[in-house]
Structures are given as C-alpha cells and as structure tokens.
A and B are shown apart, each in its own frame.
Chain A
Amino acid sequence: MLDVSVAYNRYKFLGHEFLTWLWFIMDVDPACILKAESDMVSLEMDNRIVLENSLDNRIENIRIKGDEAGFEEAKLSLQKGGVVTELNFSLKIGDHEWKFNIKGESLNISSLKSPETGKIEKKEDIEGAVLEKIYLYEKVVLLVENLYKQFIRIRISSKWESKTIPLIKKWIKS
C-alpha cells in the first residue's frame, strides 16, 4: 500500500467525486440510496454545501449555508467545473432524524447530531447511554461506509466512464 500521507493527497479527489455523485444520486435516483440501509426513510442534503473550483491556478471555494438556502449557485459552480468538498446531510430512519457533515478529502464525520437519548441521572445509567449512542452513531457510520462501497465499485468499473459520467454531466447542465 502507498505511504499514508501520499495516498491521502493523491486520492482525495475520490472523496470529492463521492460527494458529487451522492448529490446526483439523491437528486435523480433516491431509491438507489435507500438500498444502503433497510429502515431508511430518506437521506437528503441539509443546509450546507462547500464546493471547490480550480480556475487558472487559483482555488475558489464556494460556501452555501442556511435553512432556506437554494442550491442553484452550487449547481452553477459544478457547471464551471467545481467539485463538492463538504456536504451536510439529514438522515431519517423511522421517526428519528440524524444530521451530520462529511468532508470529502478525509470522509470524516463532523457535527453529528443523533436523536435524543434518555437523561443520565446516576452513574449506573452511563453504560446504557454509551451503548445507545454507539448504536445511533453506527447508523451513520455504516450508511457512509455502504454508500462509499457502492460508489467505489462503480468508480473503478467501465460503467463510470460509459454510463455514470454522461448522466452526471446531463444532470449538471439541467
């Protein structure tokens, strides 16, 4: 395997492409996403997106944030050759909602808010609370892992060039 720091920098584009692909899939084929978690009701973009565009040897970052934010400008950035570098999600499973952020270059999960759990009133409650939190965080971790596996299989196949890229290009122009 490659040296870790070399691999991190050389292949961070995979994380950006993953987020771009994910936005595309959530927009055009949400049913495909539902295969990743059997009980999932929905996975949607929430209120924040960051894109990066390399123009004439300079890097331009576009941040769109806010509950009422429209993503037209983000789409415009894709049309100019940008890629998604960070995306905020809302995940619904049953009546519960999770919110979280994924950074493309590291695939780190941040600002993860899971559904409310019971209050800890005494020391004996800690163990149960930890197990409950692990269960809730695992929903997001496994979802991201499963979606990434799905992406990477398409990405290294011939289908990526022949089918997926033309569809993404068409979606970006739409």
Chain B
Amino acid sequence: MRLLSSSVSITRYKVEGKIQGALIKTIMDGLNKNSITEIDNQPMEKAAGWTSFDNPYLPDFETSSCVIGAHFVFSLRIDKKNIPSKIIKKYYTLEMAKRLAETGREYLSRNEKKEIKEHVANALSLRIPATPNIYDIIWNYEESSLWFFSNQKAANEDLETLFSKSFGLTLIRLFPYTMANLASGLTDKERDLLSTISPTKFMD
C-alpha cells in the first residue's frame, strides 16, 4: 500500500537497537544488498526485497533519495506468481496423457505424477510474470519508530524478517501488550501490575 494513497493502513513498530558505525551508509548498504531481484523468466514463485519509494519498478538507491526530513522512506516489494490451479490442472492432465502415450502404460506411479506436477509448475512459473505488491515504510531512526503501510499478516512477517537480515535490528510490532509494556512510560511496578491483569466482565 502506498503512503500517498487516499486511504491507508498502518502497522506501527518499535525498532530495537541502534546501528553501529555510519548510519546512512549502513542503511544504504542494507537496502542495496537486499533489494528486490526480478524473478520473471525464473522458476521461482516469490521474492521479497527493498525497493525505492519513488521508483519501485527500477530500484536504485544510489540516485534516489531515501531520506526525507527526519525519516528514511523506502518500500518493501513482494513479487508473487499466482498460477491459477485450473491452469496447473490442465497442463498436468495433458502432460500425464503424453507420458502415458509415450510409454504405452495405463498408469503412472505416485513419484512420476509428483515429478510431472513439479515440472508443470516450474514450466508455468517461467512463463507467468510475477505480480508486484509495494508497501511503503517510514522509519524515524531517532524515535526508534517505524510505520509499515499494510496490516496484512504475511507482508508484516516478510518485513520483520528482511529488516532484521538487512540492518541487524529487531522490529517489535505494537499491539495492546507491547504498547502498554514498551510505549506507555510505565514504571517497573506498573509493568508488574500489567502482567497480573485479567479480562473485565462489564456485565454480571
């Protein structure tokens, strides 16, 4: 989801840890090393990587600025090939018929069927282009806060994994418990109280 859209969804994170060494260079290195790679014409079904906010289909962190005001602004791109199951079924059936005719047999073994299915899926994934999904990110390094413009579980999980791999920092998703524990300024005594509470019954 793009941050300039008319309607957005935001998942908030606390960034745990600080970067050792030159900040901008380290972040640029992390982005470059883990930028999205094209999987069209390759037998891969999915790829996830960083891309530039203002040019997401041609990522170039050298010429495109990732720093806007006090924020790092870039995007996560997840490319996925969605091959409809009916297409797989069609080519699988045709390939099985061809194999049976070639061998003159009436049946194929379980392993042969599995091998044909994999071959069909690989052959189709070479022919079908991946669908790109772009999710923007606003990272306020000084405040240790990050906004991810999607609430989708799978996209959030990809973000958390790639962020840790790229920058060596941990993202902590802010939800009721973590917001209370980490972002509400509670004392140790208050945190102890938090750990003991149980749901309220508003009606008897």
Contact = CB atoms under 8 A, between A and B. Distances in A.
Dominant secondary structure at the A interface: helix
Interface in B92-132: none
A46 interface: no
A130 B53 CA distance: 10
Nearest to B8: A112
B200 A134 contact: no
Contacts of B4: 120, 129-130, 133
Contacts of B179: 107, 145, 148, 152
B3 A113 contact: no
Contacts of B181: 1, 7
B186 interface: yes
Interface string A90-106: 00000000000001111
Given A4-B173, A110-B9, A134-B138, A156 B197 contact: yes
Interface residues of B, number: 45
A20 B172 contact: no
A15 B199 contact: no
B82 interface: no
Interface in A106-140: 106-113, 120, 123, 126-127, 129-131, 133-134, 137
Interface in B159-204: 172-186, 190, 193-195, 197, 199-204
B54 to A, nearest CB: 6
Interface stretch (B19-27, B28-36, B66-74): B66-74
A131 B71 CA distance: 9
Given A83-B202, A165-B200, A106 B151 contact: yes
B11 interface: yes
Contacts of B147: 137, 141
A14 B180 contact: yes
Nearest to B69: A131
Contacts of A113: 6-7
A2 to B, nearest CB: 7
A83 B200 CA distance: 10
A106 B183 CA distance: 14
Given A4-B173, A108-B9, A109-B9, A131 B180 contact: no
A152 B6 CA distance: 32
Given A11-B175, A18-B176, 19 more contacts: A2-B177, A11-B176, A11-B177, A13-B199, A14-B180, A81-B202, A83-B202, A106-B11, A106-B176, A107-B174, A107-B176, A108-B11, A111-B7, A113-B7, A130-B3, A133-B3, A141-B147, A148-B184, A168-B202
21 contacts: A4-B172, A4-B178, A7-B175, A7-B181, A12-B176, A78-B202, A106-B11, A106-B173, A107-B12, A110-B9, A120-B4, A130-B4, A130-B53, A131-B69, A134-B71, A137-B8, A148-B179, A149-B185, A152-B184, A152-B186, A169-B204
